[in-house]
Amino acid sequence: MDNNLNWTETRDSRLLELHSDCLNCFGLCCAALPFAASSDFAIDKNAGQPCPNLREDFRCGIHTVLREKGFRGCTVYDCFGAGQKVSNLTYGGRDWRQAPDTARQMFEVLLVMRQLHELLWYLREALAFSGAEILHDSLMLMMEQTLNITTLSPTELLKLDVHVHRAEVNELLLRASELARNAARAQLTPAPKRQKNYGRGADLIGAKLRGADLRCVSLRGAYLIAADLSAADLRHADLIGADLRDTNLSGADLRGCLFLTQAQLQAAKGSPATKLPGSLTHPEHWSAGLS
């Protein structure tokens, strides 16, 4: 597999690679990440141990039936394009089977790169927020800095204090969120009521919020596991980092939601009547009746 040309083109083309491309990855998440037998995974697997479903060509042997086989957790994971970048740019197309001495380092680098790519995805989202135009230069500068970091060598990436960089980016994203939600609040009719914002880590597990008016509310990092948000109005709500595992979004309105990812939708339950931002799609299991 030689895709080096794809990774030595322009900076802009690399920046667009913020979604998983398993065909151009060495199955890194299938080997690097651990999981335990649960409702999300059928078996136990240690970090650094290749999944038994990973084929020699780095493809998943049960990709089309992951949920049916008990590997729901695999369907909700998104590396934001980090896997193919580590495979083809950081390690130049040399896989961990060809060079087993680099396997452990490569798996550790994936964990760092994944965080950086997630930040790039959020920064790109924030650039499109109406009302946050005043931050465009700052967002672009932070995006450029983050992108430069992703091109560092494996050794340099592992020395990076990702938590410090994430904190700097998060401060900027928070300001963009506040500006965007304030702008939306001023335009929506009827105007949303001023509601409290839920702090990061708010416990809303199993909350009964059917039909709730949650427009422009911050639910950053909230635990909404198995919460009932059916028919709720979540337009322009901030959902960055919110845990939506088994959250009922049937008939909910999520248009204009800030920082909502496809992976969050994959973890939730919904219906064809759920309204989504234009950049996201209804997961197949929403209409197939799969949990």
* Residue 7 predicted with pLDDT over 50: no
Tokens, residue 246: 């088994």
Tens digits of per-residue pLDDT, 230-274? Answer: 999 999 999 999 999 999 999 999 999 999 999 999 999 999 999
pLDDT value, residue 65: 95
pLDDT value, residue 257: 97
> How does residue 2 score in pLDDT terms, banded at 50, 70 and 90?
very low
pLDDT value, residue 133: 97
pLDDT value, residue 241: 95
What average pLDDT score do residues 94-100 get?
94
pLDDT value, residue 190: 87
**What are the CA-CA distances from residue 56 to residues 70, 98, 211, 270 (Å)?**
22, 12, 48, 35
Tens digits of per-residue pLDDT, 37-66? Answer: 999 999 999 999 999 999 999 999 999 999
What average pLDDT score do residues 102-111 get?
97
**What are the CA-CA distances from residue 263 to residues 31, 110, 208, 268 (Å)?**
19, 18, 23, 9
> How does residue 3 score in pLDDT terms, banded at 50, 70 and 90?
very low
Q: Which domains does the chain have, with CATH numbers?
A: 4-33+77-180 (no CATH), 192-291 (2.160.20.80)
* Residue 12 predicted with pLDDT over 90: no
* Residue 228 predicted with pLDDT over 50: yes
pLDDT value, residue 11: 47
Q: How far is residue 67's CA from residue 283's CA, in Å, rounded to a whole number?
A: 12
Express as a percent the part of the chain with pLDDT over 90: 85
What average pLDDT score do residues 81-90 get?
94
Mean pLDDT score of the chain: 91
Cα dihedral 207, 211, 215, 220, rounded to 10, equals 20
**Residue 153: burial class (beta carbons within 10 Å; 0-12, 13-18, 19+):** exposed
Tokens, residue 114: 């994944």
pLDDT value, residue 289: 57
> How does residue 1 score in pLDDT terms, banded at 50, 70 and 90?
very low
Direct distance between the N- and C-terminal alpha carbons of the chain, in angstroms, rounded to an integer: 35
pLDDT value, residue 192: 81
Q: How far is residue 245's CA from residue 38's CA, in Å, rounded to a whole number?
A: 14
Considering the entire predicted model, what is its pTM?
Answer: 0.91
DSSP code of residue 198: P
Contact in structure between 243 and 263 (CB atoms under 8 Å): no
Residue 41, C-beta contacts closer than 8 angstroms, at least 6 positions apart: 35, 70, 71, 72, 73, 74
Inter-residue long-range contacts of 167-172, CB under 8 Å, 24+ positions, other chains counted: 168/142, 169/119, 169/122, 169/123, 169/142, 172/123, 172/126, 172/135, 172/138, 172/139, 172/142
Express as a percent the part of the chain with pLDDT over 70: 92
